[in-house]
């Protein structure tokens, strides 16, 4: 069920992006503190990538929940993934991302590294923008990575 929800959110997101493409472009063109190259990156890559990630996550959840175990075992054997699970690898990648952003956040050049941070601080206020940025790019990836790793190791 959760897989279908993620797929639905992704499809709705793609439709919204397609319908509101001009407004999204105008928004990123008018954001203060965001360079032209960063605005172009957000308009052309990030905005379209988010719904695609939801669709891929939904497909993954749907396949892992609905496909029978014999079929899964055949795929795992063909891909030689029988020693390392995909969740474990994904958890490690997410955890490393969160730890890297935590380390980069402690540097003095965090506004240069995190171009979206200054935009969030300007839009939501210094404290609230910082909290949103820390939660989204550091805390949530670390927690999700630990949960995925823990679920596969089972320590």
Which pLDDT does position 107 carry in this prediction? 75
Of 53, 48, 41, 42, nearest to 16 (Cα)? 48
Q: Is 20 helix (H, G, I), strand (E, B) or coil?
A: coil
Which pLDDT does position 79 carry in this prediction? 59
- State the pTM of this model: 0.51
CB-based burial of residue 145 (10 Å sphere; 0-12 exposed, 13-18 middle, 19+ buried)? buried
Q: What is the mean pLDDT of each run of 10 residues along the chain (155 residues)?
A: 79 84 80 74 77 83 73 66 69 88 79 76 84 88 86 64
Contact 130, 121 (CB under 8 A): yes
C-alpha 8/C-alpha 154 separation (Å) is 31
Tally Cβ neighbours within 10 Å of residue 141. Answer: 22
Tell me which DSSP letter residue 84 carries: S
Which pLDDT does position 92 carry in this prediction? 86
């Amino acid at each position: 069920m959760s897989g279908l929800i993620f797929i639905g959110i992704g499809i709705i997101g793609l439709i919204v992006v397609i319908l509101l493409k001009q407004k999204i472009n105008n928004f990123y063109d008018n954001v203060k503190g965001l360079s032209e190259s960063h605005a172009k990156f957000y308009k052309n890559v990030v905005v379209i990538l988010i719904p695609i990630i939801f669709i891929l996550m939904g497909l993954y959840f749907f396949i892992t929940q609905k496909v029978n175990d014999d079929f899964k075992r055949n795929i795992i054997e063909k891909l030689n993934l029988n020693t390392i699970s995909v969740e474990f690898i994904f958890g490690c990648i997410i955890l490393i991302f969160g730890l890297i952003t935590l380390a980069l956040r402690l540097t003095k050049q965090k506004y240069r590294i995190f171009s979206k941070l200054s935009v969030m601080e300007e839009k939501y206020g210094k404290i609230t923008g910082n909290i949103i940025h820390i939660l989204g790019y550091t805390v949530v990836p670390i927690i999700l990575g630990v949960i995925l790793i823990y679920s596969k190791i089972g320590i």
